Structure 1
Amino acid sequence: MTDLSTLPELSLIETRILGTLFEKQRTVPDTYPLSLNALQAGCNQKTSRHPVIEVQEAELVQALEALRERGLVAEVSGSRVTRYEHRLEKGLGVPGQAASLIAVLMLRGPQTAGELRLNSERLHRFADISSVEAFLEELAEREGGPLVIQLPRLPGARENRWMHCLSGVPEVMPGAAAAPRESGDLARRVEALEAEVAELRAQIQALLDR
């Protein structure tokens, strides 16, 4: 089991890279591993991301090198364009189901177990919320250090949110503002369509890279 104390705290860009690589491996496997351009586009997506960021190429290259040195990212040869793939499960010592939850937390910020089940459906389909909670509890109680933490319930909220600890164990501030939530069937349909557009763009970029 990976000892979290031996893993340096990851920056926002580094966690965004890992989350994006994991997401694209599951959602657009034909374009994975990702080229630098495709990875940059995925990191800078306006949908399914919180916070939305604008990563420059130089920042991306620097973060990739740091992740490569830590064994969390690898370069893949064999084509005229350098491509990158994650080593999230092996690097953290977790199964794919747990890695799916961590990836969604890295991409979207703190979420409830119900939100995690919905938002991770394209990465791994959990049978019910109980199975999500079981994996979250295992990640929170790891001997090598917690990979996720349960945040105090916000005023008026019915569920606690969870947050990943790869950027350090957060200082919990009661009453802190929650990340914006997307709710309602219309919002979910719009997001699904936008995600499909993003995947098509990634596939087009992959074809151009080749």
Structure 2
Amino acid sequence: MNHDFRQRPLSPAQARVLATLMEKARTVPDSYPLTLNSLHSGCNQKSSRDPVMNLSEADISAAIDTLRETSLVIESSGSRVTRYEHNFQRAVGVPEQSAVLLGLLMLRGPQTAGELRINADRWYKFLDIASVEAFLEELAERSDEKGGPLVVLLPKAPGAREARWAHLLCGAVEVPESCSPSPAVPGVDTALAERVAQLEARVEQLEKTLRELGA
């Protein structure tokens, strides 16, 4: 049965523990599953984390206990030291590519499709940005029968060229007022506004093509 994050969203600590296990399973397979000490270091590392956190071992143990209840994390047997591994794909019911994107969003916060493709390099090599976007759109349109959407496309921030995606595993995302769409202003030439929007879209498409050619 798929975990329903609308009924039981993750806490920030649980999301960090889960995503760290997902990361280390792919980047350091020889050291995986992780001991509590290794998990503690991974959760609190300064690189590839947004926000940087300072979780205690007690915080991590409490998060693990809750994650085990929902089968998102399982305890590894056959070792003198207790080790932990994630069970994300099976518990949530998503393919590897979707799990990679969700793990990155939990670890690094909201990102554009282009940033996700770059940051995923050690986890999974996506063919192009279009494939990243396809999996994100599939997660955003996930049916209620499967537990509902797991990501959302945020309104484009002022001055940003591309909109960022955020995960919904910790519940609904609060959008800062500065990122909210501006109300229509009376008297503005709508034809000009539409032309500017079209030009911006063409520039984004050209930049996307150049990135793909240079990849």
- Provide TM-score, normalisation by structure 2: 0.79
Which residue matches 2:205? none
Which residue matches 1:70? 70
Letter paired with 1:111:
Q
Equivalent position SS for 1:106: helix
> Displacement of 1:79 after TM fit?
1.0
Which residue matches 1:187? none
- The reply to whether residue 80 of structure 1 matches residue 83 of structure 2 is no
Which residue matches 2:163? 160
- The C-alpha deviation readout for 1:30-49, integer Å capped at 9, x for no partner, is 00000000000000000000
Question: Residues of 1 paired with 2:92 and 2:164: CA distance?
Answer: 22
Counterparts of 1:57-206 in structure 2 under 5 Å?
57-143=57-143, 144-176=147-179
Asked whether the 8 Å contact 1:4–1:146 carries over to 2, the reply is no
Aligned length: 177
> Displacement of 1:132 after TM fit?
0.2
Equivalent position SS for 2:178: coil
Runs of 4+ in 1 over 4 A off after TM superposition: none
User: How many percent identity over aligned positions?
Assistant: 59
- Provide TM-score, normalisation by structure 1: 0.81
Gaps of 5+ in 1: 177-210
Question: Residues of 2 paired with 1:162 and 1:68: CA distance?
Answer: 27
Asked whether the 8 Å contact 2:74–2:84 carries over to 1, the reply is yes
Question: Residues of 1 paired with 2:17 and 2:32: CA distance?
Answer: 13
Question: Residues of 2 paired with 1:153 and 1:98: CA distance?
Answer: 22
- The C-alpha deviation readout for 1:62-93, integer Å capped at 9, x for no partner, is 10000000110000011110000001101111
> Displacement of 1:169 after TM fit?
1.5
Cα separation, partners in 2 of 1:6 and 1:42, compared to 1, 3 Å = same
Question: Residues of 2 paired with 1:149 and 1:163: CA distance?
Answer: 5
Equivalent position SS for 2:165: strand
The alignment yields a C-alpha RMSD, in angstroms, of 1.5
Larger relative contact order (Cα-Cα within 8 Å, sequence gap ≥ 6)? 1
